[in-house]
Amino acid sequence: MTNSICEFEDADLFLVTGSNTTAQHPLIGSRIINAVERGAKLILIDPREIPLAAFAELHLRQNIGTDIAVLNGLMNVIIEENLYDRQFVADRTEGFEALKAAVSRYTPAVVEMITGISAADLTRAARMYARADKAMLAYAMGITQHITGTDNVKACANIAMLTGHVGRPSTGVNPLRGQNNVQGACDMGGLPGVFSGYQPVSDEAARKKFERAWGVEGLPAQAGLTLGGMLEAGRKGALKALYVMGENPRISDPNLGSVDLALSSLDLLIVQDIFMSETAALADVVLPAACFAEKGGTYTNTERRVQLTQRAVTAPGQARADWEIIADLCRRCGLEAPYTHPGQIMEEIRSVTPSYGGITHERLSKTYGLQWPCPNREHPGTAFLHSAQFTRGKGSFQPSDFTPQGEATDQDFPFTLTTGRIYCQFHTGTMSRRVDLLEREAPEPLVEIHPEDAAKLGIRKNDLVEVSSRRGSIRLKADVTTRVPRKVLFTTFHFHEAQVNLLTNPACDRTSGIPELKECAAAIRRCP
């Protein structure tokens, strides 16, 4: 996020796309609603009628997978009507002429044909966003989990730079993280091509720095494999062992039949988790980990805020903090790991990670947290990014063209299936489904279908139906509702009883490797 969560309360306008914010990020969703009730405007881009739609000045219900066409169309209007921030573009960006040429083809009439959004609504939304004084753009996995996810994100950055809506309080581009500490995991190098602080493994100076810090030689200069790449290598027999921490790919990954094949093809599968998940049930070795309340350390949340936590209760049985397990394993493998307290680990982090350079447990214990970049002990942390310049100097416009969805519908699979989350369950349910209250509120999986489609197929609310794709089928109950448009099905991935990712498309974004979880061709029928 370029901004802080509290800044949502002072924005004049929100552009929310690919985010069911009140379900996935309810504290941020509530701030958006509070701001709207005080007079801020909300533009929502989402094919479903999610709860935020009730508060939106404009709800643009695009055809699934057409996000780039929508954003390019907005920029087309902004440029054609000279609503862009000429001074910001001139002083702080480069590549404007290439962007202008690229979006010139996306007139409101053309975008209406691609996306289903009326030319009038598109034009109105463009004017509202461009003319706002303080506009915040927020997105989540509805933008990233597509084969064009990286291009979708670049388009979000393009429109913010085009209008000068970045680099000021309550004005920026804000990706909302899907789980607590996802930001921290990425910051610490939980990506295949970087060390902590996003320092590339291809950078020789960075490799030497980490070799000195860790007392090793010969760190690889090539990026490793993504999760999808590891599973593919497992299926081919090229990957022999896999160590899984706090992840449940047997539920969360696409095309689950191939996931089981990959995991069963390994010589060794190790799972470190707080509960016996579906993936842990297949493991050769299970390492019991402590949950958040049973260990101390830090979390880095979606606004880049590093916060200190203290252990509240003792971990049960043989469960230990993750860092203790890893340190012990390192020592048994012959690698020095001289840690006795998580504060020592933070000292190492700050010594090799410039953006965390001023963050210590001592400082964190006296404050609500510190937002990186925080380069030294005197630095107060950074509430919003890019105030004077971008990290690379000038912001670079990166235009992209609309690409049709990765898997087309046909006579056999005439629906588009999309997936997401609901308010009362979390991720693959390994934690939330152990809570009686949450199970009472959301006890079973449902598939949403439009009333007109349901009537044609003889499907009624709560009927048992079979949903199929080119990869498999699942059975669950129908929810007949106008929340989804015609020819669209929606369901969640929380429930092992109906593993929707048996159906989803394993195609991935060519840059990030993120799978296409938000759309696949599907069919639905009433079970006899």
Per residue in 188-219, pLDDT tens?
999 999 999 999 999 999 999 999 999 899 99
Would you state the pLDDT for residue 372?
95
Contact by Cβ (8 Å): 324, 272: no
19: how many CB neighbours lie within 10 A of its CB?
Answer: 28
Q: What domains, with CATH codes, occur in the chain?
A: 5-176 (3.40.228.10), 182-371 (3.40.50.740), 415-526 (2.40.40.20)
Average pLDDT, the chain: 93
Per residue in 239-259, pLDDT tens?
999 999 989 998 888 777 888
pTM: 0.92
Both structure tokens of 36: 């709207």
Residue 465 pLDDT greater than 90, yes or no: yes
- Burial class from Cβ neighbours inside 10 Å (0-12, 13-18, 19+) for residue 242 reads buried
Q: What is the mean pLDDT of residues 431-438?
A: 86
Residue 421 pLDDT greater than 90, yes or no: no
**Which bin fits 243, alpha (ψ -120 to 50), beta or left (φ > 0)?**
beta
Would you state the pLDDT for residue 280?
94
More confident residue, 513 or 70: 70
Would you state the pLDDT for residue 526?
96
Q: What is the mean pLDDT of residues 112-125?
A: 97
512 pLDDT band (50/70/90 cuts)?
A: confident
Per residue in 45-67, pLDDT tens?
999 999 999 999 999 999 999 99
Residue 468 pLDDT greater than 90, yes or no: yes
Would you state the pLDDT for residue 142?
84
The per-residue b/e assignment along 352-361, b for 16 or more CB within 10 angstroms, e otherwise, is bbebbbbbbb
Contact by Cβ (8 Å): 504, 469: yes
Best mean pLDDT range from 121-130, 388-397, 430-439:
121-130
**Percent of all residues in the chain with a pLDDT value above 70, rounded to a whole number:** 100
Would you state the pLDDT for residue 403?
87
Would you state the pLDDT for residue 299?
94
Written as one string, the DSSP assignment of 131-191 is: H-SSEEEEE-HHHHSSTTHHHHHHHHHHHHHHTT-SSBTTBEEEEPPSSTTHHHHHHTT-S
Residue indicated by tokens 């690919």: 18
Contact by Cβ (8 Å): 127, 496: no
Would you state the pLDDT for residue 145?
80
More confident residue, 372 or 432: 372
User: Could you say which DSSP state residue 179 is in?
Assistant: S
* Preceding amide of 373 cis, omega within 30: yes
Would you state the pLDDT for residue 325?
96
Residue 405 pLDDT greater than 80, yes or no: no
> C-alpha 323: how far from its chain's center?
25
251: how many CB neighbours lie within 10 A of its CB?
Answer: 23
More confident residue, 285 or 422: 285
Measure the CA dihedral 386/387/390/391, to 10°.
-70
Per residue in 153-178, pLDDT tens?
999 999 999 999 999 999 999 999 87
Span of 53-67, 124-138, 157-171, 435-449 with lowest mean pLDDT: 435-449
Contact by Cβ (8 Å): 471, 483: no
Per residue in 214-239, pLDDT tens?
989 999 999 999 888 999 999 999 99
431 pLDDT band (50/70/90 cuts)?
A: confident
